[in-house]
Amino acid sequence: MIRSALSRTLVTNPTRKRRALYFRSSLRLRVRLVLVLLGTLAAPAFAAEDESGFVSLFDGKTLEGWEGNLKVFRVHDGAIIGGSLKERVANNEFLCSKKPYADFELRLEAKLSGKGENAGIQFRSQRIPNHFEVIGYQYDMGNANGRSIWGSLYDESRRRKFLADGDDGEIKKVLKPGDWNQVVIRCAGPRVQLWVNGYQTVDYRETDKEVAARGLLALQIHGGEPAEAAYRNIRIKASP
């Protein structure tokens, strides 16, 4: 009855009819705009399909462009593998890029297997002379103290502590233990941003002006229990 009366009113009053149609159209438009905005906010800060400007750092077959302990690192099935599932890893080992980088976005896939639960990706780092260690930022991988440290920002051999990390519960929602995970590292001036599988774990701003803003990349396998860290599809978009 109410709807019928309203319809008769709109028919007999063209002005009200136009207003009602305008209201409905405007409401639909607003709903669409809200949905688009929500989709934008929920999306990761990078688009996986947008690879313009990125160059590969690994040909899938050789370690050209990298240097490190070749008794520890090897290429297998299109990936760089560090460590062993059969023997303990004597100490931390790093396969370093031969070229340094300052501002960049690095994308790759990483996987960690075995009893050892620690590996990582160094950036803006330097080798310590006559030593197996490096010094600099690390995108951490694995577990520590009962929580996931995937996507945590660790300061290797310098401040020797976690500088920032993500929410353990949120990381566990997106992480694929023992499988390939999407890693993104973005550096722009003092700002460092990290992601795992589209979830942003870290948005850190360096305040110490003595900390190097340029350095090597490196792939790590941590010393300890038998473990393998695997890395593939490594590509970078560096700022001039």
pLDDT tens for residues 25-39? 554 545 344 333 444
With a cut of 60, say whether residue 101 has pLDDT above it: yes
Share of the chain above pLDDT 90, in %: 78
Q: Would you say 228 and 113 are in contact if contact means Cβ atoms under 8 Å apart?
A: yes
Mean pLDDT for the stretch of residues 137-144: 97
Amino acid at 96: C
Mean pLDDT for the stretch of residues 53-77: 97
The answer to whether domain 55-238 has CATH 2.40.30.70 is no
Mean pLDDT of the chain: 87
What's the predicted TM-score (pTM) here? 0.80
> Residue 9 — pLDDT band, cuts 50, 70, 90?
very low
> Residue 16 — pLDDT band, cuts 50, 70, 90?
low
Mean pLDDT for the stretch of residues 63-74: 97
Q: Would you say 82 and 75 are in contact if contact means Cβ atoms under 8 Å apart?
A: no
pLDDT at 22: 47
* SS3 sequence of the chain: CHHHHHHHHHHHCHHHHHHHHHHHHHHHHHHHHHHHHHHHHHCCCCCCCCCCCCEECCCCCCCCCEECCCCCEEEECCEEEEEECCCCECCCEEEEECCCECCEEEEEEEEEEECCCEEEEEEEEEECCCCCCEEEEEEEEEEECCEECCCCEEEECCCCCEEECCCHHHHHHHCCCCCCEEEEEEEECCEEEEEECCEEEEEEECCCCCCCCCEEEEEEECCECCEEEEEEEEEEEECC
pLDDT at 31: 36
The residue with greater pLDDT, 188 or 42, is: 188
pLDDT at 26: 52
> Residue 240 — pLDDT band, cuts 50, 70, 90?
confident
- State pLDDT tens for residues 147-194: 999 999 999 999 999 999 999 999 999 999 999 999 999 999 999 999
pLDDT at 176: 98
